[in-house]
Amino acid sequence: MQVIKNIFPLLNQPKQVVITMHQKPDGDAMGSTLALFHFLNKLGHSCTVISPTNWASFLNWMPGCDKVLDYESQGNKSDIIIADADWIFCLDFNILSRAKRMEEKLKSAKAHRILIDHHREPQTEVFEYGNSDIEKSSTAEMVYDFIVDSGNIEKIDTSIGACLYAGVMTDTGSFRFPSTKASVHKMVAELMTRGLEHSPVHEALFDNFLENRFRFIGHALLNKLEVFYEYNTALITITQADLLKFNIKTGDTEGLVNYALSIQGIKLAVVIIDRGEERKSSFRSKDGFDVNTFARRYFNGGGHFNAAGGFNKESLEEVLLKFKEAIKENKSQLSTYQF
């Protein structure tokens, strides 16, 4: 993988560009791809953003979101665009399998694949160019760097600003995680100088849920939360019946894992959701517990040191057994807090 600045001299030659992100895109995945979309369009490229799957409706306010293709429902159209592309930007994921059913098309495309991402252990051999940096708060911050480093800061407008802000704000837990370096605040100051209004972004993302989601969270915390004090671990298990009962849609479960992590003394918080086709897990940790390694070892996943995810094809019962074995195996690292 060559350093990304090697494509800067090529940015003034109009290209067919596909920009994609991980399945079930979150604020950073959608915000960073749409910011890059607006930026590259301004430079004269012809861009299409393709999401491997659908996304949470609380992302729909983002400028350009109405033009994003959903590979699950618009696969044929997407395949033609992917096959014709000169460049495919892969944002906020670093192994092609996270693009799910799009993976094979991304692999066989004639385009150069370009990585911009901040997760651990990238599959660097499949990217011609890229920037992979686990120190970065968000992929949105990296897209900002891409714009600035290529000498185009003046191209940042309110659309790009809102998308970048949504990405960096959601991935830093509203600027609270240790990844929130001075560079993050400097970037936000620059976006505000260029017209960003931050309050509407918070409202659009966090004050837009339906009543059923809160009833569901109440149910999950009251009935589905287990605390394993011996392991400083909290687990929330969600069945398909729970999802159906509360009419849970993509995005409604986001943030649930943080309630479990905010219990005093908890080092590892986990949500396991039976989505039917697979069992999806979310891991969050505090202190020195590495959930990237934990998710990779037991749950076919990965991510960051303190936030990771995974998926299993086994039944929910089997995944729960595996989880209980896994915390036993990691007991010496987990059991350091005295309740």
**Chain positions contacting ligand 5GP, by CB under 6 A:** 22, 95, 98, 119, 282, 301-304, 307-311
Give the bridge partners for 250, in sequence order. Answer: none
Measured from the CB of residue 138, what is the shortest distance to Mn ion in angstroms?
Answer: 5
Measured from the CB of residue 153, what is the shortest distance to Mn ion in angstroms?
Answer: 22
Measured from the CB of residue 41, what is the shortest distance to ligand 5GP in angstroms?
Answer: 25
The residue whose Cβ lies closest to Mn ion is 28
3-state DSSP of 203-253: HHHHCCCCHHHHHHHHHHHHHCEEEEHHHCEEEEEECHHHHHHCCCCCCCC
Closer residue to Mn ion (CB): 301 or 333: 301
C-alpha distances (whole Å) from 231 to each of 250, 280, 302 are 30, 21, 21
- Residue whose token pair is 């596909």: 18
Q: What is the DSSP string of 277-321?
A: S-EEEEEEE-TT--HHHHHHHHHS-EE-SSEEEEEESS-HHHHHH
Q: What is the DSSP string of 143-206?
A: HHHHHHHTT-GGG--HHHHHHHHHHHHHHTTTTTSTT--HHHHHHHHHHHHTT--HHHHHHHHH
Ramachandran region, residue 181 (left: φ > 0; alpha: ψ -120 to 50; beta: rest)? beta
Closer residue to Mn ion (CB): 63 or 173: 173
Decide which of Mn ion, ligand 5GP, none touches 309; Cβ closer than 5 to 8 Å per partner kind. Answer: ligand 5GP
Closer residue to ligand 5GP (CB): 22 or 267: 22
H or E element that contains 274: strand 268-274
- Residue whose token pair is 């089997």: 318
Residues forming the site for Mn ion (CB under 5 A): 28, 92, 139, 171
Measured from the CB of residue 210, what is the shortest distance to Mn ion in angstroms?
Answer: 25
Closer residue to ligand 5GP (CB): 231 or 311: 311
Decide which of ligand 5GP, Mn ion, none touches 304; Cβ closer than 5 to 8 Å per partner kind. Answer: ligand 5GP
Decide which of Mn ion, ligand 5GP, none touches 136; Cβ closer than 5 to 8 Å per partner kind. Answer: none
Q: Is 125 exposed, middle or buried (0-12, 13-18, 19+ CB in 10 A)?
A: exposed
Decide which of ligand 5GP, Mn ion, none touches 22; Cβ closer than 5 to 8 Å per partner kind. Answer: ligand 5GP
Closer residue to ligand 5GP (CB): 22 or 213: 22
Measured from the CB of residue 274, what is the shortest distance to Mn ion in angstroms?
Answer: 25
307-312 and 279-285 strand pairing: antiparallel
Measured from the CB of residue 26, what is the shortest distance to Mn ion in angstroms?
Answer: 7
Closer residue to ligand 5GP (CB): 131 or 282: 282
Measured from the CB of residue 98, what is the shortest distance to ligand 5GP in angstroms?
Answer: 6
Closer residue to ligand 5GP (CB): 150 or 293: 293
